[in-house]
Amino acid sequence: MARLTAPAIICSVRAHGEHGAILRALTEEAGLVAGYVRGGRSTRLRPILIAGNLVALELRARTDEQLASATAELLSSRAPLLAEPLAAAAINWVTSVTATILPESQPYPALYAALSGLLDAVGVASSARQWAAALARYELLLLAELGFGLNLEECVVTGATHGLVFVSPKSGGAVSPDAAAGFEERLFRLPRFLHASDSAPSMADVIDALAITGHFIDRDLLDGRNRDLGGVRQRLIDQLGRAVA
- Residues 75/117, Cβ–Cβ less than 8 Å: no
Domain end (from 44, 61, 79):
79
Domain that residue 231 falls in: 125-244
Determine, yes or no, domain membership for 225. Answer: yes
Return the pLDDT at 198: 64
- Same domain? For 149 and 50 the reply is no
Q: Residue 196 and residue 229: Cα distance in Å, rounded?
A: 30
Determine, yes or no, domain membership for 45. Answer: yes
CATH classification of the domain holding 45: 2.40.50.140
The helix/strand/coil state of 220 is helix
Which residues, at least 6 apart from 188, have a Cβ–Cβ distance to it below 8 Å? 166, 167, 168, 169, 208, 211, 212, 215
> φ and ψ at 62, to 5 degrees?
-75, -35
Return the pLDDT at 244: 63
- Per-residue pLDDT 10s for the chain (245 aa) are 578 999 999 999 999 888 899 999 999 999 999 999 998 889 899 999 999 999 999 999 887 678 899 999 999 999 999 999 999 999 999 999 999 999 999 999 999 999 999 999 998 887 787 899 999 999 999 999 999 999 999 999 999 888 899 999 999 999 999 999 989 999 999 998 988 766 678 888 999 999 999 999 999 998 766 777 888 899 999 888 887 65
pTM above the 0.85 mark? yes
Amino acid at 75: L
- Same domain? For 38 and 139 the reply is no
DSSP class of 234: H
Domain end (from 45, 79, 113):
79
Strand residues in 77-230 grouped as ranges (E) = 151-155, 166-167, 173-175, 188-189
How many H helices and E strands in the chain? 6, 9
Indicate the helix (H) or strand (E) that contains 71. Answer: strand 68-76
- Same domain? For 63 and 169 the reply is no
Return the pLDDT at 75: 97
- Same domain? For 48 and 157 the reply is no
- Same domain? For 169 and 227 the reply is yes
Return the pLDDT at 245: 59
Q: Residue 16 and residue 39: Cα distance in Å, rounded?
A: 10
Domain end (from 79, 111, 145):
79
> φ and ψ at 117, to 5 degrees?
-65, -40
Determine, yes or no, domain membership for 70. Answer: yes
Question: How many domains does the structure of the chain reveal?
Answer: 2
